[in-house]
Structure 1
Amino acid sequence: MNTTSPAQTPSIRMDPAQFDAGYQEHAGYAASLEHLYGRLNTEALDPANFARVERNLDDFRAFLQPLGDPHLATPTIHITGTRGKGSTLAMLEAILLQAGYSTGATISPHLTEVRERIRINGQDISRELFASNYESIRPVADKMMRLANFRTVFELITALAFVSFKEAKLDVALVEVGMGGRLDATNIVSPALSIVTHIGLDHMHILGNTVEAIAEDKGHIIKPVAPAIISRQPNRARRVLEQRCVEVGVECWRMDHEVQIESMSLSDCGSEITVSTPHRTHPKLRIPLLGAHQVENAATAIAAADRLDADGKFNITAAAIREGLPKTRWHGRGEILGTDPILMIDGAHTGQGAHALSNLLDSVFTKRRRIMILGMNRDKNPDLFLNSFETLPDLVLATRAESPRSLTADELAETVREKGIRCETVELTNAINRALEIAESNDIIVATGSFYVIGALRRIWLRE
């Protein structure tokens, strides 16, 4: 495949003032965002153009060297997967904090402000610290660019996270992969533990057209010395990951094998679960995140905590797990913003995510008319997304986020109407108000399909 440098790749510059709620609040933060988003933003690229971007980890290591190799300064837990990696990270973060450890975390994408992508001790990095630490990166980025070492927005944010963690002298960093694993910018860490959450078909233009190919790419975060936790997988993906563990000589704990969900009870305020691992059994734990898929993610986080404790790398008691899980903070995943009627935002954007959301609605929010605010990116499949719902929405409000990757509302509405679903097109800024005009108190409004969409709606809701 012919590749080009980030500087040669077509891109549309995104104005940070339009999508970052904190841009107007702090001059230094705004200046950092202006510099940051002057670089190639791969998240805003057309997929055909992203496939041409050269991803070179040696160049990224060279970029980090003048900064003191911050990616090697903090013990790291590395997390990848198609679905559930962010939720798993958030729950493991809550457990580690309860156990008394100082933590850093990288997540993507953000919902309201870019700084959400970097957390220290469970809190988003402050605008002041973001700006201050970015100033240490800016001259290196400018110098390297003159030497043809071009770095993308995601790489600069990742570098900023590593620098922030090193400066804070944290006990542990939880690092979420941006996409895939093998060539992801985060795959320069030396992990103490690798976690692979559920794998499915996504980013196929980059990672491959089969779950085996995608699992092979993601499996490259599993490295010698560090054990692996493998969440529930399609059999074909699981076999690839198991083979990767054999090749690098590490032990893995697998969901439904070494790790078992013994029982679970779902409700509209969370779940109660019992989980067993080779290390111990955890009865009747409470988790605040909604849905059966979050039970699976919680079990993965519990297994990770048990493995860290069993290996003697950390001291994580059963009480820390029990008391930490209910403190998990994680926005945009089955998040309830309003209650009369229920207004939920969920970042589902693939068939897998839609299936999990469908199960949540069918198991917890039954006998409610469903109004869906839907916006999707051009590289996603709205037909597959809607087919993954056991019960179709009664009404769809088709919309479009301010991203060059987004389908237009009219394009999306055409697919929706072909399925016989009643549909209106709305401007994103008016989507919630329109849904509330239509909804009755016993209905549920669900905004989904794209993190760009739910992030914008969350900003609108909090502002109003």
Structure 2
Amino acid sequence: MNTYEEAIDWIHSRLQLGIKPGLKRMEWLMEKMDHPERRLRAVHIGGTNGKGSTVAMIRSMLQEGGYEVGTFTSPYIEQFNERISINGVPVSDQEIIDLTASIKPLAEELEKTDLGGPSEFEVITAMAIYYFAYIHPVDIVLFEVGLGGRLDSTNIIHPLLSVITTIGMDHTQFLGDKLEDIAFEKAGIIKNGVPVITGVQQEEALAVIQKRAKEMKSAVYQLGEQFKADWQESLPQGEVFNFQSVFAQMDQLQTSLNGLHQSENAAVATMAVLYLRAFYAFLVEEEPIRTGLRSANWPGRMEYISEKPIILLDGAHNPEGMKALVRSLAERFPDNQITALFAGMKDKQLDEMIAALEQAAQRIMFTTFDFPRAAGKQEFQPFLTTHGWQENWREAVSEFKHSASQEEVLVVTGSLYFISEVKKFVKET
């Protein structure tokens, strides 16, 4: 493994194995690596939407408090290295090469067993655990769940605290087509005696989380009960809310992330930091909490990539995410002409997402991009009687950028992988 390109190519070659739920391969890898997962102080963050934003806000607050914070997130927006970061700075290309060289022989050995070779996500998870345990230990690591929770490869860790942001209909082919089924998979990250903080709202999903927590003898801190977020207003950049909890009360907290739902994500993140302060001596006082929330950044969530004219990116890749985007657009741009450029995945609930988007956008253009699971013109055919098809999304973005009036807004949405492509294109032009 001599170059960064070789390392990335080998990692991505694991994609052909698909998604492989279960922890047997991770257990095998951890055993071979002398159990690096046992060396970590970690927070485990799961949920349908809001995981990445919540990770970013927890990291920012802890960092403002003087701590070195590792993060493991997915997918990436601009560079693969983002997935393993310290204080928001991605690991270096050389570190990716070294980590890949360490994992590759184990993956090849595992491939020869009855368990079969590890998936791409299992390889990357093992790389992150190894990195934070042996190469660059940090004060705390924030692990974002990849898919579900119970059978996700990140579930090999035993955290100080578990967080479940929201529950919604996504990845139903793996997690089930009922909220209770999805909640059961998400609640699988709750460990014996490890408390869980949750922003979940639906009663049927909460009942599943409460049941699992009771079985695990884990305390539950629930948005709307043990802590509350009272949204106040939207700013040009961010949201303002009042926060109340069993640990502290703070008014006029401001998160830099756009979207009404971000006040709820911010409340979950704040509660997590307050829990770590109360029980694990992470001494983060009110000012670092305020500063951390204001300075937190997470790309691809109502992110402005152009001000004149306004072009927004939002990775609303499931119905719940799209509904949250629509609410925020209505609040922020009540008098603007909104055009949506939408590219989604074949296995997503396109009809529900499009129905929600129609409530906010006066014009919708569908498109596709170079990705194996991307929906093409055939998948969008039922919607083309009322909306347009754009074969070349680059031309559409360029045309809007150069000819739109100040009253017009372009929202690029539907897939995080797609908005990653659009962001790179806009930065380069």
TM-score, length basis structure 2: 0.95
Task: Say whether the 8 Å CA contact 1:99–1:315 is kept in structure 2.
Answer: yes
Query: How far apart, in 1, do the equivalents of 2:46 and 2:16 lie?
Result: 20
Q: Equivalent residue for 1:74?
A: 40
Task: Say whether the 8 Å CA contact 2:239–2:259 is kept in structure 1.
Answer: yes
In the alignment, structure 1 residue 150 sits paired with structure 2 residue 150: no
Structure-to-structure mapping, 1:46-195, within 5 angstroms: 53=20, 55-148=21-114, 149-166=116-133, 167-195=135-163
Q: Equivalent residue for 2:170?
A: 202
In the alignment, structure 1 residue 240 sits paired with structure 2 residue 208: yes
Q: Equivalent residue for 2:370?
A: 402
User: What's the secondary structure of 1:199's corresponding residue?
Assistant: coil
Change (3 A) 1:224 1:349: same
Question: What is the aligned counterpart of 1:461 among 421, 426, 429?
Answer: 426
Q: Equivalent residue for 1:441?
A: 406
Q: Equivalent residue for 1:7?
A: none
Listed one character per residue, the Cα deviations across residues 390-438 of structure 1 (whole Å, up to 9, x for unaligned) are: 73422222211211211113532x23334x34x1322244341133355
Task: Say whether the 8 Å CA contact 1:67–1:137 is kept in structure 2.
Answer: no
Q: 1:41 offset after TM fit, Å? A: 4.8
User: What's the secondary structure of 1:256's corresponding residue?
Assistant: coil
Task: Say whether the 8 Å CA contact 1:410–1:425 is kept in structure 2.
Answer: no
Q: 1:305 offset after TM fit, Å? A: 0.8
Query: How far apart, in 2, do the equivalents of 1:213 and 1:313 lie?
Result: 36
Structure-to-structure mapping, 1:424-439, within 5 angstroms: 424-437=389-402, 439=404
Listed one character per residue, the Cα deviations across residues 99-137 of structure 1 (whole Å, up to 9, x for unaligned) are: 111111111111222111111121122222222222211
Amino acid paired to 2:66: G
Unaligned runs of 5+ in 1: 1-25
User: What's the secondary structure of 2:71's corresponding residue?
Assistant: strand
Listed one character per residue, the Cα deviations across residues 79-108 of structure 1 (whole Å, up to 9, x for unaligned) are: 100011111111001011111111111111
Query: How far apart, in 1, do the equivalents of 2:360 and 2:294 lie?
Result: 32
Amino acid paired to 1:129: E
Amino acid paired to 1:221: I
Task: Say whether the 8 Å CA contact 1:268–1:365 is kept in structure 2.
Answer: no
CA RMSD of aligned residues (A): 1.8
Deviates more, 1:292-301 or 1:110-119: 110-119
Deviates more, 1:252-261 or 1:135-144: 135-144
Structure-to-structure mapping, 1:342-421, within 5 angstroms: 342-389=310-357, 391-412=359-380, 414-418=381-385, 420-421=386-387
Task: Say whether the 8 Å CA contact 1:104–1:121 is kept in structure 2.
Answer: yes
How many residue pairs end up in the alignment?
Answer: 427
Q: 1:216 offset after TM fit, Å? A: 0.7
TM-score, length basis structure 1: 0.88
Task: Say whether the 8 Å CA contact 1:111–1:452 is kept in structure 2.
Answer: yes
User: What's the secondary structure of 2:243's corresponding residue?
Assistant: strand
